[in-house]
Amino acid sequence: EAQVTQNPRYLITVTGKKLTVTCSQNMNHEYMSWYRQDPGLGLRQIYYSMNVEVTDKGDVPEGYKVSRKEKRNFPLILESPSPNQTSLYFCASSLMSLPLWEQYFGPGTRLTVT
C-alpha cells in the first residue's frame, strides 16, 4: 500500500529535550516536506527536500532541522524544543513532475512541549 508514515503519532515532552519525528514514504517520491498546523493558520511549511542531500527552508524553519540521507526518509529534528513548537506536524511527499505535483500526507504527529 502506498503511504507516508510518521512516528510517533503523539508525543509529550519537556522544554529543551531533543527529539526526532520520523517520516518515511514507499512511493519513490523525490519531494518531501514538513508542515505544521496550528488553529486558524492553515499549514505552514517548515522544510522541504527535492532529493537526497537537497533540503531548503520553508516559511517557518526556526528551531527545526532536517536531513535527507535516503530517498524514502525525511526526519524532523527539534534540537531544543520550546512550548511554541507545540503543534500538529504533517509530513508529505510527491513526485517532482509538473504540472500536477500532488502531495500525499502522512497521518500527523501531535507534539506537546511543556
Rule CB under 8 A: say whether 103 interacts with another protein.
yes
Q: Which is nearer to another protein, 16 or 107 (CB)?
A: 107
Rule CB under 8 A: say whether 61 interacts with another protein.
no
Rule CB under 8 A: say whether 58 interacts with another protein.
yes
Q: Which is nearer to another protein, 28 or 101 (CB)?
A: 101
* Chain centre to alpha carbon of residue 39: 18
Stretch that binds another protein, among 13-21, 36-44, 67-75, 76-84 (CB under 8 A): 36-44
Where along the sequence are the contacts to another protein (CB under 8 A)?
31, 33, 40-45, 48, 50, 58-59, 90, 96, 98-108
